[in-house]
Structure 1
Amino acid sequence: MVSFLHLVLALPLLSFIILLLKSRTNKKPATVLPGPKGLPIIGNLHQLDNSGLHFQLLNLSKIYGPIFSLRIGMRPAIVISTPGVAKKILNDHDLDVARRPPNLGNQKISYNGTEIIFSPYNDTWREIRKLAVVHFLSFKKVSMFSHVRKDEVKKMIKKISGHVCSSKITNLSEIVLSTSISIIWRIGFGRKCGEEGAEKSRLHGLLNETEDIFTSFFISDHIPFMGWIDRLTGLRARVENAFKRMDMFSQEVLDEHLDPNRLKETEEGDIVDVLLGLQKQGNLSIDLTHDHIKGVIMDLIVAGTDTSASTAVWVMTALMKYPRTMKKAQEEVRNLYGNKDFIDEEDIQNLKYLKAVIKEALRLYPTAPVLPRETNKGFIIDGYEIQPKTLVYVNIWAIHRDPEAWKDPDEFYPERFLNNDIDFKGRDFELIPFGAGRRICPGLPMGIATVELIIANLLNSFDWELPIGMAPEDIDVEALPGLAVQKKNHLCLVAKNRK
């Protein structure tokens, strides 16, 4: 009787188990991603380094396909190498990969992610980003700072004119970076500084030191039980020192802006003025603290200077390497505005070939060749199961040179953009130099406005020649590792008065 009763009670449970097993049997299991076999503990670290990560990932993609797996220490990672898979990751699964992978360095210097670049995807990030876009990074707001860009680019042209008179070679890498720093200095902090000023040198030093920290590899992030190595090598001490210097600078900027007797350059003020005004008004979804504002100051220094400068240098590098494109770009500018001493931002909207040149330079020489993300939940893509907390590396370099997406992908050919609508605003996944999705670079409008103005006036004001004994094919395109990939060897040219 007892056995029969147990059997009756067990029948529903047995039926459920059978149905569950049947459903699991019928369900197609997710496929394991291909990828190189890693070593114990270190994974695939022995196959990678920061000197040319995009090249190394590209070579691996030729073996393992457009999406493959790695292990970075003890952390799982996937690599994306084609526009189609990038669209699935950054569009279809945008919310699933909306995190930036945190590391010891960026979390410390970004005030534990209280800004835009390194913040985790949360309410704080959404509010800070919204404030930035609405109040100073939209195309409309960026145009309000056009007078600053015009003034600083005019100073740059005047300095190069002095080189012409003295037959001095122009180090375009240095002078463009100096101009970019001056623009951000005034737009962000309301400060002016001389060409060789100590303040500009200080900002340049902060930039180099901070970028070096951001591109450093921390053992503790990938092999936690060996984190003591970061202390032994002095890396943690360097992080603390870099943070103290950045914090000191940011506090000085805040103190200046909190001085009631301070005179603003314009009635609207600069970006820090805007943020302090929003803080005073309140009515925000977060408590906007001084650390939030300091974090944005750090973002401006890191993302607002090197990126624009390196892009402008890569554009000029490509134009000098391909004289045909230089001739065509200069003819467009001079045929339309040859009677003007200075090309204004509103003029640039008519320079179609110039815009194509900049797009092509961004395609061949993206300032951030690898886009890092991190999954915040698991999902399946192309039958492959991706786990939470997986590092995601979108190889922009490989995508921009994908032969399935681009004809003659290694050639600098701006004409490819004249008869199509492909743009870099995150909708066309074969061209994503600024990223895509929720974490697309919000500084895109400001960066492009700066680059266009610099290039248009360099082409309009001068004829450019290579130093004696150098031919176009001698121009190198070697790059330095960093958040913004810069040309390894400075671009030094001879400026001549236009004919």
Structure 2
Amino acid sequence: MEKLPLSLLLQVALLLLILYRFFGRYHGHKSRKLPPGPYQYPIVGNTFQLRGILHSALSKLSKTFGPLMSIKVLNRTMIIVSSPKVAKELFQKYDHVYTSKLVPDSVRAFDHHKFSVIWLPANSKWRNLRKLCKEQLFSSERLNASQGLRQEKVQQLSAFTTIVNVVSNTFFSADFGHYESNSSQDLKEIISAALGIIAKPNLSDYFLVLRAIDPQGIRRQIKFYFRKLLQIFDEIISQRLKEREKSLAYRRRNDLLEVLLDLTQLRKTEWSIEDAKHLLLDLFIAAFDTTTSTVEWAMAELLRNPEKMEKAKTEIREVIGHRKLIQESDISALPYLLAIVKETFRLYPPVSIMSRHYEADIEIDQYIVPKNAVVLVNLWAIGRDSSVWSNPDSFVPERFLDSEIDVKGHHFELLPFSTGRRICVGMPLAERMLHLILASLIHNFDWKLEDGMKPEGVDMSEKLGITMQKAVHLKAIPIKATM
């Protein structure tokens, strides 16, 4: 038998290799397919099916396509998680793979993403920032030391002005809200506007070539609000530094700014005033917005359900008697109050959708999640999942009275502060502030709705934003309670 030419053998071998690669890849793709989802239209994908409030639109689609779903928005693949079971698999199996977030172009204003504990990738700077927050800013020892600052402001109760000043005193030992003016509402509007802009769909996030021209002006708009807040921080920091440098009788504060300025002196090579300002921007916005929105949702539900308001008042009165001032140490003895906050988080999570970005392919429930896809975990849908919660759309704090579910990231039915390596660093402070402020508002005031409105008339609609906010602010009249 005549031998085949070497060149022909090489050509056959090359052809076999190409066929093997092609069919191997095809077979692999078929066996590791994307999760189910709606038909994706050319160019736009599913963009026009996501009108209105995003978490509601995604929840509606997931009822058809299941708790793990794939969609496409313009040129970007998105994987949607809408059940605690799938969320648990995602977070427990792949938390170590999750290293970064896709940074919205808007938060690149003033290079904020290069300093931000929220947006930095999981590098050494990010780890150092989280360590600083955990060990220096939000440790039990530090929060106990600053308790007096929060306590003093709660005594001056004036609804949302109190929230502004509880937050600002914890950070700066200073009042940002004044009881005779609209300054607290102004600050709320600045932060609300900034978060609303960040939440807007931005073409620059889908087509990187457009970032240089910022076609919708979103980065320019966010710069306006970031500049306002950074200027406030600049003035406070400058004044504090002058006091520290010039006064021999300087009295140290127990606030977060004092800790950050200590670090700028001790670690000059790795920590700067610029670092401090951007960390304050992250933490102050998060603390202020989470606290105001959650307290507002909780009060709205209590005013819609007066029997639950009365139950909370009775519990507080039985625990602290006729004492006017509630202390942080009282909170653990108020299980119904704790249940009210959990139920508020279930129905109105501060961040309704968590985003994740994986730099390698991962597999969930036998489906492929391709690298660089955006994974969105719909906390709003998980909190209203009828297979997990009875009467999921009703405000029923009692469901948590005999439940071990907490908000610390261990129970995937309730993740208001996220979970894993990216869990909210400010959670210890947020929990203290929320419970203290809400308990004080319930205990010290009787409340009635404006203009004779009936409880069922309270508007509970939401508006677009990074955090979950009421579209129509609650309008209620506080009447000083008789002790």
Q: Which residue of 2 aligns with 1:446?
A: 429
Unmatched runs of 5 consecutive residues or more in structure 2: none
Are residue 464 (structure 1) and residue 447 (structure 2) matched?
A: yes
Return closer, same or farther for 1:324/1:203 CA change in 2, 3 Å cut-off. Answer: closer
Return closer, same or farther for 1:120/1:108 CA change in 2, 3 Å cut-off. Answer: farther
Q: Which residue of 1 aligns with 2:301?
A: 318
Q: Distance in 2 between matches of 1:25 and 1:53?
A: 34
Shift in Å at residue 71 of structure 1?
1.5
Shift in Å at residue 431 of structure 1?
0.6
Q: Which residue of 2 aligns with 1:168?
A: none
Q: Which residue of 1 aligns with 2:259?
A: 274
User: Whose relative contact order is higher, 1 or 2, with alpha carbons under 8 Å and at least 6 apart?
Assistant: 1
Instruction: Give the share of equivalent positions with the same residue, in percent.
Output: 32
Q: Which residue of 2 aligns with 1:223?
A: 207
Contact kept? 1:89, 1:97, Cα under 8 Å:
no
Contact kept? 2:149, 2:173, Cα under 8 Å:
no
Q: Which residue of 2 aligns with 1:404?
A: 387
Return closer, same or farther for 1:227/1:278 CA change in 2, 3 Å cut-off. Answer: closer
RMSD: 3.2
Are residue 436 (structure 1) and residue 438 (structure 2) matched?
A: no
What is the 5 A alignment of 1:106-145?
A: 106-109=107-110, 111-145=112-146
Q: Distance in 2 between matches of 1:457 and 1:95?
A: 41
Query: Which secondary structure does the structure 2 equivalent of 1:374 belong to?
Result: strand
Shift in Å at residue 38 of structure 1?
2.7
What amino acid sits opposite 2:315 in the alignment?
Answer: E
Q: How many residues align?
A: 477
Q: Distance in 2 between matches of 1:104 and 1:347?
A: 44
Contact kept? 2:362, 2:369, Cα under 8 Å:
yes
Q: Which residue of 2 aligns with 1:368?
A: 351
Contact kept? 1:338, 1:460, Cα under 8 Å:
no
Unmatched runs of 5 consecutive residues or more in structure 1: 160-174
Q: Distance in 2 between matches of 1:494 and 1:196?
A: 16
Q: Distance in 1 between matches of 2:264 and 2:375?
A: 35
Contact kept? 2:150, 2:169, Cα under 8 Å:
no
Return closer, same or farther for 1:206/1:263 CA change in 2, 3 Å cut-off. Answer: farther
Shift in Å at residue 181 of structure 1?
1.9
Query: Which secondary structure does the structure 1 equivalent of 2:77 belong to?
Result: strand
Contact kept? 2:196, 2:464, Cα under 8 Å:
no
Contact kept? 1:185, 1:191, Cα under 8 Å:
yes
Query: Which secondary structure does the structure 2 equivalent of 1:71 belong to?
Result: strand
Shift in Å at residue 477 of structure 1?
1.0
Q: Distance in 2 between matches of 1:380 and 1:43?
A: 23
Return closer, same or farther for 1:19/1:340 CA change in 2, 3 Å cut-off. Answer: same
Contact kept? 1:113, 1:120, Cα under 8 Å:
no
Q: Distance in 2 between matches of 1:410 and 1:229?
A: 43
Q: Which residue of 2 aligns with 1:162?
A: none
Q: Distance in 1 between matches of 2:223 and 2:299?
A: 37
Q: Which residue of 2 aligns with 1:37?
A: 39
Q: Which residue of 1 aligns with 2:92?
A: 91
What amino acid sits opposite 2:203 in the alignment?
Answer: I
Q: Which stretch shifts more, 471-480 or 19-28?
A: 19-28
Query: Which secondary structure does the structure 2 equivalent of 1:373 belong to?
Result: strand
Q: Which residue of 1 aligns with 2:342?
A: 359
Return closer, same or farther for 1:141/1:155 CA change in 2, 3 Å cut-off. Answer: same
Are residue 455 (structure 1) and residue 438 (structure 2) matched?
A: yes
Q: Distance in 2 between matches of 1:47 and 1:73?
A: 12
TM-score, structure 2 normalization:
0.89
Query: Which secondary structure does the structure 1 equivalent of 2:363 belong to?
Result: strand
Return closer, same or farther for 1:70/1:265 CA change in 2, 3 Å cut-off. Answer: farther
Deviations 1:91-124 (A, max 9, x none): 2211233422201111225623312122222221
Contact kept? 1:34, 1:69, Cα under 8 Å:
yes
Contact kept? 2:163, 2:437, Cα under 8 Å:
no
Contact kept? 1:366, 1:397, Cα under 8 Å:
yes
Query: Which secondary structure does the structure 2 equivalent of 1:367 belong to?
Result: coil
Return closer, same or farther for 1:123/1:249 CA change in 2, 3 Å cut-off. Answer: same
Q: Which residue of 2 aligns with 1:212?
A: 196
Shift in Å at residue 279 of structure 1?
2.7
Q: Distance in 2 between matches of 1:453 and 1:292?
A: 30
Deviations 1:253-282 (A, max 9, x none): 332232213699963542222122123222
Return closer, same or farther for 1:461/1:86 CA change in 2, 3 Å cut-off. Answer: same
Q: Distance in 2 between matches of 1:264 and 1:305?
A: 32
What amino acid sits opposite 2:476 in the alignment?
Answer: L
What amino acid sits opposite 1:46 in the alignment?
Answer: F
Contact kept? 1:466, 1:494, Cα under 8 Å:
yes
Q: Distance in 2 between matches of 1:226 and 1:26?
A: 37
Q: Which residue of 2 aligns with 1:336?
A: 319
Q: Which residue of 2 aligns with 1:482?
A: 465
Q: Which stretch shifts more, 222-231 or 104-113?
A: 222-231
Are residue 255 (structure 1) and residue 238 (structure 2) matched?
A: yes
Deviations 1:346-394 (A, max 9, x none): 1111011111111111111112111122222221111111122111111
What is the 5 A alignment of 1:281-296?
A: 281-282=266-267, 287-296=270-279
What amino acid sits opposite 2:401 in the alignment?
Answer: L
TM-score, structure 1 normalization:
0.86
Query: Which secondary structure does the structure 2 equivalent of 1:253 belong to?
Result: helix
Q: Which residue of 2 aligns with 1:81?
A: 82
Q: Which stretch shifts more, 103-112 or 60-69?
A: 103-112
Q: Distance in 1 between matches of 2:225 and 2:155?
A: 33
Contact kept? 1:98, 1:438, Cα under 8 Å:
no
Contact kept? 1:35, 1:70, Cα under 8 Å:
yes
